[in-house]
Amino acid sequence: MKFEDKYFVKFEFAKEQVNNTLKNALRDLDIAREDKILDVKFSYAYTAFIKGGMALLSFYKVKVKSIPGHHIKIIEKLAQLLDDKDIDDIGNIMRSKRNLDLYSGGVEVTEKECLEYLNFTAKVLNRIKEIVTA
């Protein structure tokens, strides 16, 4: 798999670093599940999803550069590594909503959407956990 130099760099992560990144993603997912405020639920679900992607990339010895567009690339590579087009589709919907919320005066996320995003993120993180902790 090709990792563009603009967005990624080879890096030797220690197993503990990979596990800590995944653990952090799972903690964010727990916060998203427990909080009652829909915006908070959505924000933490998205953050958990992105951190999960970073954990999987770090498992494969790839570090993400923090530059504009890097979330798009994390989602793209996560979809490729897990061979799942839904990750690209749903992940980018979440990313777009998050961007609208940050840069365009906010966005309303429904309870139904939050539940769908939480379930989606949980499934993706479980798949990542199976790979990273094997």
DSSP string, 60-120: TTEEE--STTHHHHHHHHHHHHTT-HHHHHHHHHHHHHHHHHHHSS-----HHHHHHHHHH
Whether the CB-CB separation of 101 and 39 falls below 8 Å is answered with yes
Domain 13-132 has CATH 1.10.10: no
| Confidence at residue 76, expressed as pLDDT on a 0 to 100 scale | 97
Domains of the chain: which residue ranges?
13-132
Q: pLDDT tens digits, the chain, 134 residues: what are they?
A: 899 999 999 999 999 999 999 999 999 999 999 999 999 999 999 999 999 999 999 999 999 999 999 999 999 999 999 999 999 999 999 999 988 777 777 778 899 999 999 999 999 999 999 999 98
Distance CA 34, CA 65 (A): 31
